[in-house]
Amino acid sequence: MTDIDRPVVRPRRLRTTAAMRDLVAETNLSAGQLILPMFVREGATEPLPISSMPGVVQHTRDSLRKAAAEAAEAGLRGVMLFGIPEHKDATGSGGIDPDGILNVAIADVVAEVGEELVVMSDLCLDEFTDHGHCGVLDAQGRVDNDATLEQYAAMAVVQAQAGAGLVGPSGMMDGQVAVIRAALDDSGHTDVGILAYSAKYASAFFGPFREAVDSSLTGDRRTYQQDGRNAREGVREALLDIEQGADIVMVKPALAYLDVLRRVADAAADFGVPVAAYNISGEYSMVEAAAAHGWIEREAAILETLTSIRRAGADMILTYWATEAAGLLRR
């Protein structure tokens, strides 16, 4: 061997075996940190595949219960439910109807899995409005923030009555967390928590989700969802939600906003508030499409994606791979 300075510090020593790598791993991913989003369609007699999200379906009430039981058996600790009604209107009244599809689905899943899973419910009007926006519209066709808050308050109470453990306001209306917290407390649901979609960006990666919920949206949501060029604003929104009583704050999407996730996690840590991230439909579909073409190793890409979100600061991850990933982690 030539006369060279041999390195004394050799980081590779800590990578020599799988056991060694596990021993010194800085980031760990477990089934209990994963939350499965699920869609349930009113009137469906069989699960309906979502073409842009291979492997994901619009559930019937029966198949939803079965999928929730499988999620619990896999070791997950949460599911997030979205409802798809047969009929929509301008005010999204189906979301406030105790017999509406989302509210009966909440009750179905609570009855199926009891306390094995935290049953979470999307608290937004976009699936229920015929215009597809997340709130009610004023005479000029703009989303009316304060009128929408009244609808959110009523929706929160109905979801709590159905058995939701966490409600997830996702509409990005100013003051939504404070209004929902007051409505829940005033109706005696002080134990129902709020998982606030705090830093939710107007994203091109939401595309497949629009198919998943049969969205009626025309135009866009840029006047209320956040501008992707802004990171400080995401932290500000999260801190406002914490001030208003959010129990958990969330960044959505995840992959294109890992820097925001890191900043929000650091800020939320000062208040002891957990942080969630949503690995959204377009992020899921990109991996599935690339894997279908043989361009990437699918299972490795799934775990690498979810680990990156954990490493950036997420305490929990909403992902359509949740049940499958739990199995991969066991292996």
Question: In 3D, which of 250, 271, 235, 237 has the Cα closest to residue 314?
Answer: 250
Copy the structure tokens of residue 12: 């590779």
**Active-site annotation holds for 88:** no
**Active-site annotation holds for 200:** yes
Task: Kindly write down the DSSP assignment for every residue of 19-59, as one continuous string.
Answer: HHHHHT-S----GGGEEEEEEEETT-SS-EE-TTSTT-EEE
Question: In 3D, which of 102, 36, 50 has the Cα closest to residue 209?
Answer: 50
Q: Which of 200, 221, 263, 310 is catalytic?
A: 200
Q: Which of 41, 88, 221, 252 is catalytic?
A: 252
First to last CA, the chain: 42
CA gap 318, 311 in Å, rounded: 15
Q: Can you give the length of the chain in residues?
A: 331
CA gap 64, 47 in Å, rounded: 9
Rounded to 5°, the CA angle 42-46-48 comes to 80
Catalytic residues: 200, 252
